[in-house]
Amino acid sequence: MSWSEHPDTLTSVDNLTHVYVSQARYGEAETLFKRALAGREKCLKADHPDTLASIRGLASLCESQGRGDEAKALSTQAVLA
């Protein structure tokens, strides 16, 4: 596992997404949400609470941008994990 995939690094990446959202930097936030999610799925697995938090965060971002279908799909993914 590289340092960029370490769970602590992924937590920092996830935390930065929330900063970006608060600054209305949605594109950057989405990129980081996806990075954190991919890393967490790889090293923590799909049903880990941190992975599920990344899915919910990305779903929330999609919902706030009027992308309801994507948000619903992500929310369903979190429930089924």
Residues 6+ away with beta carbon under 8 Å from 36: 10, 13, 14, 17, 54
Look at the chain and report how many structural domains it folds into.
1
- Mean pLDDT for 2-9 is 84
Residue 16: which domain range? 3-80
Of the pLDDT bands very low, low, confident and very high (cuts 50, 70, 90), residue 1 is low
| Predicted model pTM | 0.87
Supply the CATH number for residue 69's domain. 1.25.40.10
Span 36-79, pLDDT tens digits: 999 999 999 999 999 999 999 999 999 999 999 999 999 998 88
- Mean pLDDT for 24-36 is 95
Of the pLDDT bands very low, low, confident and very high (cuts 50, 70, 90), residue 21 is very high
